[in-house]
Structure 1
Amino acid sequence: MLIKTFGSAVQGVNAYTVTVEVSVSAGAKYFLVGLPDNAIKEGEQRIESALAQYGYKLKRQKTIINMAPADIRKEGAAYDLTIAMGMLAAGGQLAADKLSQYMIMGELSLDGSLRPIKGVLPIAIQARKEGFKGIILPARNAREAAIVNNLDVIGVENIKEAIDFLNDELDIQPVKVDTRDVFQNSANQYAADFSDVQGQENIKRALEIAAAGGHNVIMIGPPGAGKTMLAKRLPSILPPLSMHEALETTKIHSVAGKLGEVSSLLSTRPYRAPHHTISDVALVGGGGIPQPGEISLAHNGVLFLDELPEFKRTALEVMRQPLEERRVTISRAKTTLDFPANFMLIASMNPCPCGFYNHPEKECVCAPGLVQRYLNKVSGPLLDRIDLHVEVTPVTFDEMTATRKSEDSETIRQRVVRAREIQRERFNEFDYMHSNAMMPSQMVKEICQISDAGRTLLKTAMERLGLSARAYDRILKVSRTIADLADSEEIKIEHLAEAIQYRSLDRDGWAG
């Protein structure tokens, strides 16, 4: 007897359907083919033990299980439930009528309970795309799958519930999630707010400009100046996620297994802050089974790299291509996968190894030349992709004890959203571009026109401050964003002057 059940495999952030064919005939051997990995092969023991808990026994007949397409490797224990249902139906212990209507996935424990699996959202999207009526999966994954509408999501706690449901002996109501209601109720609910920050008004202004134009930022300042505190609050002033962005971001976190059991849809922009000991693969993604890295988990959000010079040089250099292309490509012998990586990079660093170079009160004790060697740990090509260089100074006692309430994130976000709407209209005909930071060089010349007085100011600044050639386009992009925040059609002198001050690390002799 031949029975077919259906599961799914995830490649990158997308899924494809796997057909599990079970054939039972006279004989006594068990064959599992179709390039399964060891976790799938070991499933026979888990399935047998799980079924025994509820009085079911697999018939000792010749059983051939094929996982199609047979030329693509299948990985993970999530096919336990798929295979178990096929074996029961082939042995006459389960009605096969409903099997073609549902995609079935789940990892079995020895006691028959089901463990949650990764990548449920792309699997559910694929199930709806291929016309399945529903999906049967572990109950702890049900809310995540229920984001997808027009799909019956059947959450089961154990294998017995799945059997009884398919035999029409148990009525399980599909899990329903009002996606838009969840999205709207939890949007912009950030734990950290800019109203918590006393002083540092110039840094808040720089981060507002960065958020308005999608610019990358590096903050340079001594320990305890508030760099990390400010970076944590940056997502709270970014424009709210659109539904499309929320689904795209949730898919990545689903594939990486980063969604909680009660989570369904990410409605706030992600904030990722990996430790400086992170490896190249963990940062950009990859591995034997390619998984998204931190830059993909920060997609549509913020990636914060604290103490930038302490990161491995190789780890930083592999970020250069994703920063330009907004995605990371991982190539293997048989496949090439793309992971989205459209994030804002926020980096921080001390000005020197001891941390007190240019400090207003404390003296730097670093040896001559050590400051420059420390700064040289961050390569020029990486700095070339960072638009704003901001010097952070310590907060004074008077600022810390001030009773005046600081501006909150909601007020700042309103200005940022208005500036982004201007940019959306400006780049309306370009699908791949939606902020000033994404403009290529040829477009900068067309859009960022400056007056003769502005050109003179910029020339003088570049000569006197010793700004590098790479700073030219960056200054124009940032000044365009500042003009958008001021709701100005043209870039004025004051916009250009403010943009020039955000190129600290490009100045000749900045580190002595």
Structure 2
Amino acid sequence: MYSYLYSAVIHGVKAEMVKVEVDISRGLPGFNIVGLAGKTVRESAKRVRSAIINSGFEWPVKKITVNLAPGNINKYGSHFDFAIAAVLLECSGQIKIKNKNKKIFAGELNLNGNLNHVKGVLSMLLAAGENNYLEAIIPAANQEESLLVKNLNPYLINHLRELDNLENSAAEVNKNLNSNEKSVLNYPDISEIKGQKNAKKAIITAAAGGHNLLLIGPPGCGKTVLAESIVKLLAPLNRKELLETASIYSINNNLEELNLKKRYRPFVAPHHSITSAALIGGGHIPVPGEISLAHNGVLFLDELPEFKNSVLANLREPLEKKKIKIVRQQGSYYFPANFQFLAAMNPCPCGFAGVKNRKCKCSERDIVRYQQKLSGPLKDRIDLQIEVLPLKKDEILLKESEADNINYNQQIKKARKMQAERYQNTEIKNNSELQLKDIEKYCQLNSSCDKILSQAYQRLKLSVRGYIRLMRVARTIADLNSNPQIKESDLIEAVDFRWYAEKSEMLL
């Protein structure tokens, strides 16, 4: 007797369809799984047998062979339990599954037949939809992932017994996404932050133009809060971005960290003790790292010089190519990593170099060595580098913020609209992607601006990269001010933002 059903396996962040075949024949009773099955899949034999018996079905006392096709792809994951059990029951004539060519099965079985939540279901459902599958039979615990896929009808199952009358016994699908507000970080609103007028402008500019940003200042001046406030300034995830991001979180089994209802972009802030594998992804069977969890969102590195140099060096490729390639013996894996990079650091090891009324204990050599931990290639990828100063007494005691009456989100929205119209026939999405040839086309200056740029070039000793970064920021500031052409005030503000960066480069 022969039968088959379909499941899937995760490869990187995408899923590939797998045909689960079963042959029951005469011979010495046994259960064998072939088709490059991993250890977790091979262990499913014991789980499947106990689940079938404890669910009131009969275990065929015959020779049972399970094949996972295609045979050239490594299969891993406990989600194959459900498909193997279902096809075994169908093959032995105990249940009947209609339209099995259009169904996909995924779920982990307990010994009593209950189905557990499995990770990576969203990627499997998306792959099934792309391959014209119409129905998905998955654990009820994976309901939230099923609601994100529109072209697939989900059957939510709690127990293996429900396969006996699938259409009538499947759990009813709740059509509303449950936004778990308690598990989502409550991001601050920029209008609630006191003082820091210059730093707020930098955050707004970074949010409007997609610029990478470095905040430099003493401990306690509000760098982390300022960085977190960018989440509410960024545009919500569109449907495509939401599916891409949610797929990655589903694979890492932490989908609850995303606010699916408000569609906030992810804000990932790993500790400085993180390893390279945890940051970029890795493992025997590679899984996405922190930079992939920040895909379509923000990666924030606090205390930047405290990260290992080898870890920071791994950021160069994803910042440039928007993805990371990991090579293992069983194949190559590509993980998406299109994130906006934010970082914060102290000006020196003690944190108080250049701060009024605070004595710095560091020598000049210590300061230089500390700042040199941030390599040149990484600094070249940061458009904005801002000095954040401690708040004054009047700013701390101020009851109402001066920014309360300013609609920053509306201002940023208008700036993004200008960028979308300007670059509609190009591959450029925002001002942070402008190269030298693009600047000559989209950042034309009048004679007054040319004069200001010439003075800035001499004073700041701008390099070509410095010039590109300056003009990117000037273009975004002009968009925030609704100026089709860059004006003198826009360029002056951009020069002001570049001052600390060029000053630190001259120091080094």
TM class by shorter-chain length? over 0.9
For 1:56 and 1:242, the matched residues in 2 are separated by 46
Matching residue's letter, 2:448: A
The structure-2 alpha-carbon separation of the partners of 1:193 and 1:408, relative to structure 1 and needing over 3 Å to count, comes to farther
Asked if residue 335 in structure 1 is aligned to residue 331 in structure 2, the reply is yes
Give CA-to-partner distance per residue, 1:277-316, whole Å, 9 cap, x none: 1111211223222222111111121111000001111111
Choose which of 276, 285, 289 in structure 1 pairs with 2:285.
289
Give CA-to-partner distance per residue, 1:310-369, whole Å, 9 cap, x none: 111111111111111222222334533332222111100000000000111101110231
The structure-2 alpha-carbon separation of the partners of 1:508 and 1:118, relative to structure 1 and needing over 3 Å to count, comes to closer
Asked if residue 7 in structure 1 is aligned to residue 7 in structure 2, the reply is yes
Choose which of 197, 201, 223 in structure 1 pairs with 2:197.
201
For 1:465 and 1:358, the matched residues in 2 are separated by 20
Choose which of 354, 360, 374 in structure 2 pairs with 1:378.
374
Tell me the residue number matched to 2:21: 21
Choose which of 476, 479, 482 in structure 2 pairs with 1:481.
476
Does structure 1 retain, via aligned residues, the 8 Å contact 2:15–2:123? yes
Matching residue's letter, 1:164: D
Tell me the residue number matched to 1:49: 50
TM normalised by structure 2 equals 0.93
The residue correspondences of 1:292-441 to structure 2 (distance < 5 A) are: 292-407=288-403, 411-430=407-426, 432-441=427-436
Tell me the residue number matched to 1:77: 78
> Residue 495 of structure 1: SS of its match in structure 2?
helix
The residue correspondences of 1:102-117 to structure 2 (distance < 5 A) are: 102-117=103-118
The structure-2 alpha-carbon separation of the partners of 1:42 and 1:334, relative to structure 1 and needing over 3 Å to count, comes to closer
Choose which of 274, 279, 301 in structure 1 pairs with 2:275.
279
> Residue 9 of structure 1: SS of its match in structure 2?
strand
Number of residues of Structure 1 aligned to a counterpart in Structure 2: 504
Root-mean-square deviation over aligned CA pairs: 2.4
Does structure 2 retain, via aligned residues, the 8 Å contact 1:247–1:265? no
For 1:266 and 1:122, the matched residues in 2 are separated by 21
Give CA-to-partner distance per residue, 1:247-288, whole Å, 9 cap, x none: 222122122222139976671111000001111121122322
> Residue 137 of structure 2: SS of its match in structure 1?
strand
The structure-2 alpha-carbon separation of the partners of 1:460 and 1:261, relative to structure 1 and needing over 3 Å to count, comes to closer
For 2:503 and 2:446, the matched residues in 1 are separated by 24
Tell me the residue number matched to 1:245: 241
For 2:501 and 2:30, the matched residues in 1 are separated by 70
**How far is the alpha carbon of 1:173 from its aligned partner?**
5.3
The structure-2 alpha-carbon separation of the partners of 1:153 and 1:236, relative to structure 1 and needing over 3 Å to count, comes to same
For 2:301 and 2:441, the matched residues in 1 are separated by 33
Does structure 2 retain, via aligned residues, the 8 Å contact 1:153–1:174? no
Does structure 2 retain, via aligned residues, the 8 Å contact 1:277–1:311? yes
The residue correspondences of 1:252-263 to structure 2 (distance < 5 A) are: 252-260=248-256
Matching residue's letter, 2:475: R
User: Higher mean Cα deviation, 193-202 or 224-233?
Assistant: 193-202
**How far is the alpha carbon of 1:470 from its aligned partner?**
2.2
Tell me the residue number matched to 2:142: 141
Does structure 2 retain, via aligned residues, the 8 Å contact 1:80–1:106? yes
The residue correspondences of 1:213-224 to structure 2 (distance < 5 A) are: 213-224=209-220
The residue correspondences of 1:128-207 to structure 2 (distance < 5 A) are: 128-161=129-162, 163-166=163-166, 170-172=168-170, 175-177=173-175, 191-207=187-203
Percent identity between the two aligned chains = 39
Does structure 2 retain, via aligned residues, the 8 Å contact 1:249–1:266? no
For 1:262 and 1:330, the matched residues in 2 are separated by 25
For 1:468 and 1:314, the matched residues in 2 are separated by 26
Matching residue's letter, 2:92: G
**How far is the alpha carbon of 1:101 from its aligned partner?**
3.6
Does structure 2 retain, via aligned residues, the 8 Å contact 1:143–1:264? no
User: Higher mean Cα deviation, 260-269 or 26-35?
Assistant: 260-269
Does structure 1 retain, via aligned residues, the 8 Å contact 2:258–2:264? no
For 1:492 and 1:157, the matched residues in 2 are separated by 63
Structure 1 gap segments, 5+ residues each? none
The structure-2 alpha-carbon separation of the partners of 1:32 and 1:509, relative to structure 1 and needing over 3 Å to count, comes to closer
For 1:105 and 1:438, the matched residues in 2 are separated by 41
The structure-2 alpha-carbon separation of the partners of 1:406 and 1:65, relative to structure 1 and needing over 3 Å to count, comes to farther
> Residue 86 of structure 1: SS of its match in structure 2?
helix
For 2:463 and 2:362, the matched residues in 1 are separated by 26
User: Higher mean Cα deviation, 264-273 or 232-241?
Assistant: 264-273
Asked if residue 122 in structure 1 is aligned to residue 131 in structure 2, the reply is no
> Residue 233 of structure 1: SS of its match in structure 2?
helix
The structure-2 alpha-carbon separation of the partners of 1:408 and 1:92, relative to structure 1 and needing over 3 Å to count, comes to farther
Matching residue's letter, 1:464: R
Does structure 2 retain, via aligned residues, the 8 Å contact 1:48–1:57? no
Does structure 1 retain, via aligned residues, the 8 Å contact 2:187–2:231? no
User: Higher mean Cα deviation, 35-44 or 463-472?
Assistant: 463-472
For 2:342 and 2:256, the matched residues in 1 are separated by 26
For 2:260 and 2:493, the matched residues in 1 are separated by 42
Does structure 2 retain, via aligned residues, the 8 Å contact 1:190–1:268? no
Tell me the residue number matched to 1:442: 437
Asked if residue 212 in structure 1 is aligned to residue 208 in structure 2, the reply is yes
Does structure 2 retain, via aligned residues, the 8 Å contact 1:22–1:87? yes
Does structure 1 retain, via aligned residues, the 8 Å contact 2:31–2:45? no
User: Higher mean Cα deviation, 449-458 or 142-151?
Assistant: 449-458
Matching residue's letter, 1:457: I
Structure 2 gap segments, 5+ residues each? none
For 1:284 and 1:408, the matched residues in 2 are separated by 39
For 2:165 and 2:17, the matched residues in 1 are separated by 22
Asked if residue 457 in structure 1 is aligned to residue 455 in structure 2, the reply is no
